[in-house]
């Protein structure tokens, strides 16, 4: 935000007030090279560790050097094994996220929009929320078996709560003054929902979906720990049992990349919807 204010001040200093808008737009679009600064530290540490192992300062048995991790990743990817695991994990997250988010959106919207429903629903859901989700695992396994269904259910539970809370909270905090503008122009209930409530809750709803997706990634690991024959979580367990720290780290890196990519896709695909917002969101 300061950056924007600065550039605004600059352009008016230059006396190019009329040109300010296009100049600003260009600056926003231009790539900010300072982003690369973020890569500096991890790369430096990686290189130092690599050097330490190469020159025999460290053994690198429990903490393998980057080159070995990359080689493991490459090998896994060459045999196609990596992609099987990535795909298995991704599929579980997407299925769980879809179910959890859909339920969270529907119940959150109902509970936010209607006082009676909120009084009926909210206490129960809040009580359920207090249960650590992992505690459901034994029950889900008994009910749904040890295969996909119980895993997807666990992820869905993890995704549900932040989405439910976010949506209900967003609806409850819609500015009464804007709703009144809708009344002044005599909008019907459905039009009020579409033209005022929906756009007003959208930014918070997207943040809720984002944290839901983040929790989905947390819970997929838990789900895959409870006995899976494929998936990145399985790679982790397998690496531990076989004493292959390079495989564990390779799986962790794959997780990080996958999570970041999924989050970025969510953020960028929804960006046009909330472009009107002040720029704070971009820094979240």
202 binds another protein (CB under 8 A): yes
21 binds another protein (CB under 8 A): yes
Interacting stretch for another protein, rule CB under 8 A, among 50-58, 94-102, 107-115, 175-183? 175-183
In whole angstroms, how close is the CB of 118 to another protein at the nearest point?
A: 22
26 binds another protein (CB under 8 A): no
6 binds another protein (CB under 8 A): no
In whole angstroms, how close is the CB of 177 to another protein at the nearest point?
A: 5
| Interatomic CA distance for residues 166 and 282, integer angstroms | 19
Among 13, 29, 34, 177, binds another protein (CB under 8 A): 177
Question: 143 or 185, CB closer to another protein?
Answer: 185
CB contact set of 260 (below 8 Å; sequence gap of 6+): none
Strand runs (DSSP E) across the chain, as ranges? none
Question: 29 or 34, CB closer to another protein?
Answer: 29
31 binds another protein (CB under 8 A): no
Phi and psi at residue 89, to the nearest 5°: -65, -45
Q: How far is CA 178 from CA 126, 187, 201, 274, 278, in A?
A: 29, 12, 12, 17, 17
181 binds another protein (CB under 8 A): yes
169 binds another protein (CB under 8 A): no
Among 186, 190, 241, 269, binds another protein (CB under 8 A): 186
Q: Under a CB-based contact definition with an 8 Å cutoff, are residues 100 and 160 in contact?
A: yes
199 binds another protein (CB under 8 A): yes
Among 278, 280, 283, 284, binds another protein (CB under 8 A): 278
CB contact set of 137 (below 8 Å; sequence gap of 6+): 150, 154, 222, 226
| Interatomic CA distance for residues 136 and 22, integer angstroms | 54
185 binds another protein (CB under 8 A): yes
| Interatomic CA distance for residues 98 and 73, integer angstroms | 29
Q: What is the 3-state secondary structure (H, E, C) of 69-107?
A: HHHHHHHHHHCCHHHHHHHHHHHHHHHHHHHHHHHHHHH
The alpha carbon of residue 184 and the mean position of all alpha carbons in its chain are separated, in whole angstroms, by 39
Among 26, 62, 276, 284, binds another protein (CB under 8 A): 276
Q: Under a CB-based contact definition with an 8 Å cutoff, are residues 263 and 255 in contact?
A: no
In whole angstroms, how close is the CB of 4 to another protein at the nearest point?
A: 10
196 binds another protein (CB under 8 A): yes
193 binds another protein (CB under 8 A): no
Q: Total residues at the site for another protein (CB under 8 A)? A: 19
In whole angstroms, how close is the CB of 191 to another protein at the nearest point?
A: 8
Cα angle 214, 219, 222 (rounded to 5 degrees) comes to: 145
25 binds another protein (CB under 8 A): no
Question: 34 or 275, CB closer to another protein?
Answer: 275
Residues of this chain that interact with another protein (CB under 8 A) are: 21, 177-178, 180-181, 183-186, 191, 195-196, 199-200, 202, 274, 276-278
């Amino acid at each position: 935000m300061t950056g924007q204010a600065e550039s605004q001040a600059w352009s008016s200093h230059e006396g190019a007030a009329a040109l300010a808008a296009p100049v600003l737009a260009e600056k926003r679009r231009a790539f900010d090279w300072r982003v690369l600064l973020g890569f500096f530290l991890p790369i430096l540490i990686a290189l130092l560790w690599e050097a330490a192992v190469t020159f025999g300062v460290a053994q690198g048995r429990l903490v393998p050097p980057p080159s070995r991790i990359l080689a493991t990743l490459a090998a896994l990817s060459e045999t196609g094994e990596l992609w099987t695991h990535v795909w298995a994990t991704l599929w579980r997250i997407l299925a769980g996220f879809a179910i959890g988010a859909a339920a969270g959106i529907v119940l959150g919207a109902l509970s936010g929009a209607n006082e009676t429903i909120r009084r009926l629903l909210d206490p129960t859901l809040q009580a359920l929320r207090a249960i650590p989700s992992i505690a459901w695992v034994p029950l889900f396994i008994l009910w749904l078996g040890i295969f996909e269904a119980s895993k997807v259910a666990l992820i869905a539970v993890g995704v549900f709560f932040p989405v439910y809370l976010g949506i209900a909270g967003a609806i409850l905090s819609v500015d009464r003054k804007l709703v009144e503008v809708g009344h002044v122009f005599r909008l019907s209930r459905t039009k009020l929902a579409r033209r005022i409530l929906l756009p007003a809750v959208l930014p918070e709803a997207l943040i809720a979906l984002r944290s839901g997706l983040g929790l989905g990634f947390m819970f997929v690991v838990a789900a895959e720990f409870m006995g899976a024959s494929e998936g990145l979580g399985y790679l982790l367990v397998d690496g531990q049992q076989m004493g292959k720290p390079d495989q564990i780290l390779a799986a962790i890196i794959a997780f990080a990349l996958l999570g970041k990519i999924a989050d970025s896709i969510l953020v960028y695909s929804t960006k046009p919807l909330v472009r009107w917002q002040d720029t704070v969101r971009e820094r979240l």
